[in-house]
Amino acid sequence: MPTRGIAGVNERTHSEVLTIRELTDEAGLGLRIVAGARGADFRLEAVYIGDLEDPTPWMIPGSLLLTTGPTFESDPEAGPRLVRLLKASGAVGIGVAITPHVDEIPPGMIDEAEAVGLPLLRVPPETPFRDITSYIFNALSSRDMHRLRRSLALQNELLR
């Protein structure tokens, strides 16, 4: 059954679709969903690493934001505000690195992510962002290569 994200951008259609749930359940990266699990099956299209207060101008719908959260502990509203911005922009999740800035994800951020249904991931200290981005890039490029091969096979069949 298809699920829809903001403005129909995000439809779940096939097993070839990369999702937040796959990142947490199958990728072996140690990621854990701490809130917003009901949004974990939307299609993941990109990953962005950054610590800006509002990274959304540089993100596309379907993105996962990875952040170290440098202001989450000093400003209790920073985390919930970021969750709202990401949800409104069509992002499909946010991963927060445990250390160097955050010992645990702030409760207000967890509550907001649960309320709006945006998956909030705990990134353990032993998982570098480069491992997450590599997994995502490889999965997305494999999917695109599969589509290209399928398209070429269909074109060759039509030519015959």
> Dihedral (C-alpha) 100, 67, 107, 118: value to the nearest 10 degrees?
-160
> Dihedral (C-alpha) 135, 139, 140, 145: value to the nearest 10 degrees?
140
Q: pTM score, two decimals?
A: 0.82
Which of 68, 129, 126, 76 has its CA nearest to residue 96? Answer: 68
Count of Cβ atoms closer than 10 Å to residue 146 Cβ? 12
Q: Mind listing the pLDDT tens digit for each residue in 31-87?
A: 999 999 999 999 999 999 999 999 999 999 999 999 999 999 999 999 999 999 999
Is the pLDDT at 2 greater than 60? The verdict is no
At 5 the pLDDT is 39
Is the pLDDT at 4 greater than 80? The verdict is no
Q: Which residues contact 73 (CB under 8 A, 6 or more apart)?
A: 101, 102, 103, 106
Which of 142, 16, 143, 148 has its CA nearest to residue 156? Answer: 148
